[in-house]
Each structure stands twice: as C-alpha cells, then as structure tokens.
Amino acid sequence: MSNCLCLACDRANPLTTKFCTQCGAKLQIQERYRALKVIGQGGFGKTFLTQDEGKPSQPRCVIKQFIYEDPATLREAQRLFEQEAVRLDDLGKHNQIPELLAHCEQDGRQYLVQEFIDGENLLQELKRSGRFSEAKIKDLLLDLLPVLQFIHAGNVIHRDIKPDNIIRRRSDGKLVLVDFGAAKVATQTSLQRTATIIGSPEYTAPEQARRKPVYASDIYSLGMTCLYLLTQIPPFDLFSDSENKWVWRQFLNGILVSNNLGRVLDKMIEPLPSRYQTIEEILQDLNPPKKPPAISTPISSPPVPSVATPQAPKPSFFSGLFSQPSQTPVSTSSNSSILDCGNGVKLELVKVAGGSFKMGSNRHAGEKPVHRVNLREFLIGKYAVTQAQYQAVMGNNPSHFKGAQNPVEQVSWHDAISFCEKLSQKSGQKVRLPTEAEWEYAARGGNQSKGYKYAGSNNLSDVAWYRENSGRETHPVGQKKANELGIYDMSGNIREWCLDDWHNSYQCKPDRLKNNGNEPWGVMDLKRNANEPWLGRVSCVGALHLRQLRGGSWSCFDCRAALRLSFDARNQTYFIGFRLLLASFS
C-alpha cells in the first residue's frame, strides 16, 4: 500500500494511485519516490520505507519528512534537515554511510530521500541476542572506526553516535552509521563558535554538552556505546559519583574483557585532553605490534673497550631546502626539468620565474588581508604526483580511485614528506612540498598572470574536475586546460598539501615571509622528533597537527586560487594529494 504523506491523513492507498483518495495529497516525492509505511518517528521527523518508481527494479529507499508544531520548532527542524542533506552530499559515497538520493520541498514540507539500509540497529540486536562479547566489541570498533575516520577527514563531527544509529546491514554484516541530522561541520571557525546541544545525553561527551564538540566527542560517544553493549547498563549508571570514576567493569557479569581492550575503552571516555584525539591512535592500540622474540646471546669474553670517534650530526632532510643549494642547481635554460622516479617513470617540473604578487582575497576572513609577497624562481610539478610516480618511489599505492595517471590520494602530510625524502635521495635533488605562497603564485600564473579567478580561467569547467563534472571521482592528470605557465589541475581534481603550518589568517604573517615567499610559515621554527615531525607552535596557528591545503578537488565547488583550508597532517582521505617543488635560485 501507498502511505499518504499528509500529516492530517496518513491513509493507506493502492500502489497504482498518484493522489490520496482521502485528502488528494501527492503520494510520490519528485514523481518517483512512493512512501510504503512508517518505520520511525522522532522529535523533528517521520521516516517512511519507500520504493523508487523511477527505476525498473523499484528498489527500497527511505523518506525523511518534517514534523513540527510551532514556528520555532519548524525553523530548527529545517536547519537540521538542510544540514543533514549538505553533510551527506559533501561526504560523497561511502559504503557504510547511507547515500543521499534526493533533497526537496513539496507541499510546504521538506524531504530527504536516502538509501535504505536493510538490517537491525545495535539496540535491536542487543535486545535480541544479549550483551556483546569482547570479540564482538572489537569487531565493532575495527568495522566502524574507519567510517568515523572518513567523516572526520571530511571535516564532519557526527555528534549523535549511539546504538540506535548504527545498523548492521543484513547482506554483508557491515555496520552502517546513520542519522547525520546532528552532524556539524568541523572547520576551525565553527569549532570556535558555540554549537547547539544535540545528541542523546547519556552518550554525549562533556565538552559537547557544553556546546563545544570536537572530533574526539565522537570517540567518547562510540566508547559509551561499546560500554552499553557490553553491560546493558545505561551509561549514566556506569559512573560512580562517590568514587569519581567509571565503574563499568563491575557490571560485566562474567564477560571477560582483556586489559588491552579495557585500556582502549577507558581512554575513549576520558575527559579532554586525556582522551584519544584521533582514530589512528585507537587503531594502533587495538592492534599493538608484537614484540620480537628475545635473542639469546652466547657468553663470551668482554669486548676490548675502544675510544668513540665523535660523529657529525646527521643533517635533517629540511636543512638547506630554503637556502642556496650546495649541489649543482637544476638547469634553468629551459622552462621545465625532468626527475627520474625509477622503473621508467618520470616527473616533470615547470619553471616559475621569480616575481611578486598580491596574495589572498577579501572573500573570507582566512584569506585576509591581501598582501604583497616576493618570491625567487622555483620549479613546480606540472601535474599533481600521480599514482604511477608514487608507486615507483614508495612501492605502494594507497589511492581509493585507482589509475596510474590519476593523482595519488589518501596520503597524509607525513606521507607526502616521506615521498619527498625518498625521491630526493633517489634523484640527488632536494624536492619538497611548495609553500602556500609558492603554490598560489604558481596557480595564479606567476609573472604571466592574467588575473583569473581559477588557475588558468574564469570558467571553472575549462580547467578543473570539480563537483559538477567529476562524476565524484578523480581523473587522469592533464586532461583540462593548463594555466598561463602550462601547469595543470591546480583548481580541481585533488586538493594539495603545502609545507606550511596552518594559520587562521594572514593577520600576523611576519614581514620576512612577505619578502620571501619561498620560506614556509612556521615550519622552520618548529622542533622535530620521532613521534611528531613538527612540534612546538608559532603565533597565530590554528591547532596542533594542522597543515595547509590548497586547490579544489573533484568533490567541491569552491576551487578559487586564493582558497586556503586546514587539515590534520596525520589524516588521509581521497580528495587530498600533493605536487612537488624544486628550488632553482639561479
């Protein structure tokens, strides 16, 4: 039967009718999505099981509809549903996130149409099968943490992780994270603002309850979800006020939990800053490296002591990158240079003559103030680093969208730095990531610039693969029009790492960097150790671990040459890659 969408009617109608026989309301959304029955209802909406009559197979999907009683409720519901549509669309396609199929308004009400996930949520599974074992909790974490890693890489905080919002798909047993109505865009600006309190209180992190959610707030909620599934005790009852600590182990009732998993769960629900900050940290602790077997050493005579010869300190990879190179400079007699990546794979760089330009824009606060920057000559990759080039140097290809000539993606800032180190050793030339000043200068066409909005044109489709024309995937490099310098894809296909530390604006940029755009902002002032290549801070930084991103990608609309974004240097996602730079300084 076809369920009427009218709130005052809710009548069942024959599947062949297009209008309700009771009230005359339309029975289809966008003339194709027909509601079959109500399968859920919450504070802001009603959910219907739906069939898509626009396809021959008429597959099942889900319609989410507003419910409201007063104007204030309507405004909040509209905001949340609009937000969910934007978040689902921005995140693109992930096998464990419902796909957004449509978002529209009809008869004065708004609707989301999403992929239907056939299965039961973990709350239903708990009631049917009983409390989860340690093995089942660990499987849950290993299945769901990469999904959470994916949404965080897209700068989104879910904010409502709980058993009800995790569905085990019947077809393959995979866990699917649903209900992004509470999701928040986690840009630096939005994280500094006070957010609406959203989420189920018993699973909500303390900082989220104070309207200051961060990525680690989702980690807390997932940890509390695991504890509820282990104990079947409401989360509020797992904390002892008299002891001022979590006492969830008292409610295990015979279920064995190893010390390793126990420590992981404890750290997931710690107050900030003791809680895990990234998904990678949890995954590492869930699967700690095995200790190598002890090697027995035969007893022998003690060695004859020797006098240690002082060793010169090993030079850092970054030493000498920003001064006159000691080796023979790359020839600048032509407009390009070729580096050998190995296995017959070459990498071409284009010469960018020195000059000055106005950096930034007045469009966004993070791009202000516009200021003049001077640069010396350098060579920059004609294309973003491809998968073939990355494979030749690193011996692996982490990319989601496979293709030898497609840009490599799913590489962290640290992965890009490692690539530079290895290619420098192999080629004998010190290559690195560009500074953001070098990147923007090259994208704008250097001293050949014609003042375009994008890298090579005012028409984005001419020079970029972006949201409207990419088909939600990367494409082989060099298929679009080059910019004034013969450089490709700086406004689309893939966002690109820069060497600089992230700063929230140009407001306190030092004068020395305005006079020398070839020096990265902040990196030279930071310390380096085995755990985090760049520790310590400089003024005006955004947050620990954030690095600079430039350019547009296949997944976005804003691809301007002045666009600047921040991203966690440790994270990997399939809209971020990089291109190389080689100092020339003739």
Nearest to 280 by CA among 395, 92, 412, 416: 412
Interacting residues of 577 by C-beta distance below 8 A, sequence separation 6+? 384, 385, 407, 408, 409, 411, 494, 495, 496, 497
Distances from the Cα of 325 to the Cα of 308, 316, 360, 377, 562, angstroms: 32, 14, 29, 13, 30
Tokens linked to 560:
């301007």
Interacting residues of 164 by C-beta distance below 8 A, sequence separation 6+? 121, 122, 123, 179, 200
Active site residue 139: no
Torsion, Cα of 39, 45, 50, 54 (10° steps) = -170
Tokens linked to 25:
């309301």
**Identity of the amino acid at 83:** Q
Distances from the Cα of 65 to the Cα of 12, 68, 248, angstroms: 17, 10, 38
DSSP state of 542: -
Cβ burial of 120 (10 Å; 0-12, 13-18, 19+) is middle
Q: Rounded to whole angstroms, how far apart are CA atoms 148 and 146? A: 5
Helices (H), 469-568: 511-515
Distances from the Cα of 297 to the Cα of 291, 294, 300, 301, 528, angstroms: 18, 9, 9, 12, 35
**CA 67 and chain centroid, separation:** 32
Q: Are 518 and 435 in contact (CB under 8 A)?
A: yes
- Phi and psi at residue 5, in whole multiples of 5°? -90, -5
Can you say whether residue 508 is alpha, beta or left, with left for phi > 0 and alpha for psi between -120 and 50 degrees? alpha
Residue found under tokens 């009400």: 109
Q: Rounded to whole angstroms, how far apart are CA atoms 208 and 183? A: 12
Q: Rounded to whole angstroms, how far apart are CA atoms 447 and 115? A: 50
Nearest to 575 by CA among 561, 562, 281, 558: 558
Q: Rounded to whole angstroms, how far apart are CA atoms 102 and 104? A: 7
Q: Which of 52, 90, 160, 179 is catalytic?
A: 160
Q: Rounded to whole angstroms, how far apart are CA atoms 214 and 268? A: 13
Helices (H), 210-351: 215-231, 259-268, 279-286
Report the 10 Å Cβ neighbour count for 483.
Answer: 27
Q: Rounded to whole angstroms, how far apart are CA atoms 347 and 393? A: 11
Q: Are 91 and 84 in contact (CB under 8 A)?
A: no
Report the residue count for the chain: 586
Catalytic residue positions?
160
